[in-house]
Amino acid sequence: AVLFKSEKPTLDKLDQRLRANPKFKSILDGSFLQPASYVKPKVQPTPDQLRNGFTLECFINTQQKFGVNHIISNGGSFAESGFSLVTLGGGGVVRGEFQNTATNEKILMDASYPYDNQWHHVAMTYDANKKETMLYLDGKPGTARTSYKSPLVFDPKLLRIGENELRGMGFTGGITDVRIWPKVLNAEVILKHALGEVSSDADTPLVNLPLRFANAEEARQANGASGFTAQKVDWTQANQVHPMAK
């Protein structure tokens, strides 16, 4: 992988060790099998921390072609204020949702998802100053800029990866490299992240969970000690080379 230029280039130690392993051909990913299967970050960003905007990004790999499947959620999908990323069967889309129940505003952003058994990078941005949101797939705009005029409101305690805490409707497949940045990353940086490049000039993410491990035992040992707790996640070996393994 190429580390693009910055004043203080740094790599996550786990990520550095994984890339240095010559036997590392693929990625161990979590199968978020229902019911009650999820990862919960120890750090849950607050609305105040994201008041100027944010970028949420991750890699996913799923063949679950039916239902509503939550990639990341802290509300937004149903009757709660917040935001979420989901995949939807039938139409084959990945969707970003924002909702403020006090103002009765809700927006949906849909981008086509191929279900091709490969890893895909998904990013969602919220710009508080411009009052707009956007969804990216594999580093390219998946939607037009979408107006969202309401204040960003959510309950930090509801943040889950792989499930909606109040509604269930979990995700089956791999989710890795979950990052929440307290700023709007530009399109160039998002594209580099989608290609597996790591930067330190994008400031520091509030949430930074690679969720990639050399083997299942290492994944189980990391649970509870590496910034997350996992509930009923089946750590399985992926069959496809991950972009971060380049």
DSSP string, 84-104: EEEEETTTTEEEEEEEETTTT
Residue scoring higher pLDDT (151 or 10): 151
Nearest to 67 by CA among 35, 89, 82: 89
Give tens-digit pLDDT for 107-127.
999 999 999 989 999 999 999
What one-character DSSP code corresponds to residue 133? E
CA distance 206 to 120: 22
d(CA 121, CA 139): 7
Number of C-beta neighbours around residue 156 at 10 A: 16
76 has pLDDT over 80: no
Among the listed residues 196, 244, 236, the one whose alpha carbon sits nearest the alpha carbon of residue 37: 236
User: Residue 209 corresponds to which tokens in the numbers above?
Assistant: 């969970």
Q: Residue 34 pLDDT more than 70?
A: no
Rounded average pLDDT over 189-196: 94
- Among candidate residues 142, 160, 143, the one with its CA nearest the CA of residue 80: 160
Question: Encoding tokens for residue 28?
Answer: 């161990």
* pTM beyond cutoff 0.75: yes
Longest CA–CA span in the chain (Å) reads 53
DSSP run (H or E) holding 56? strand 53-61
The answer, yes or no, to whether residue 1 has pLDDT greater than 80, is: no
Distances (CA, A) of 115 to 71, 93, 112, 135, 150: 15, 9, 9, 17, 33
Beta bridge partners of 209: 178
**When comparing pLDDT for 76 and 244, which is higher?**
244
Q: What is the CA radius of gyration of the chain?
A: 17
